[in-house]
Amino acid sequence: MSNTSAISSPITQPLVTAKAATIALLAGVALLALLVYYFIGVDEGAMSVFGKSMVVHEFFHDGRHFLGFPCH
């Protein structure tokens, strides 16, 4: 008698995540995406969250024009 269980293929389990962890991950990614969108597309010198500083605006200036955001 041969032992057929020794030559059977390994069973793979699907990746299962908790719903709460998935929701937290999606919320974190959405928050990060909105933050990036704000700094690249919305932050202007006069309306900046950092006061009347143009530092963030000038840092993203060329990238803003490359992505099609007007800023002048």
Does residue 6 fall inside a structural domain?
no
Q: Look up the domain containing 62 and give its range.
A: 43-72
Does residue 50 fall inside a structural domain?
yes
Could you report the per-residue pLDDT of 5-45, keeping only the tens digit for each?
556 667 777 666 688 888 999 999 999 999 888 877 777 65
Whether the Cβ atoms of residue 45 and residue 72 lie closer than 8 Å to each other: no
Number of domains present in the structure of the chain: 1
Does residue 71 fall inside a structural domain?
yes
Does residue 56 fall inside a structural domain?
yes
Whether the Cβ atoms of residue 35 and residue 60 lie closer than 8 Å to each other: no
**Per-residue pLDDT, 26:** 94
Q: Residue 53: is its pLDDT beyond 80?
A: no
Report field, pTM of the whole predicted structure over 0.85: no
Does residue 47 fall inside a structural domain?
yes
Does residue 19 fall inside a structural domain?
no
Does residue 65 fall inside a structural domain?
yes
User: Which residue has better confidence, 55 or 35?
Assistant: 35
State the alpha helices, DSSP H only, in the chain.
19-37, 55-59, 61-66
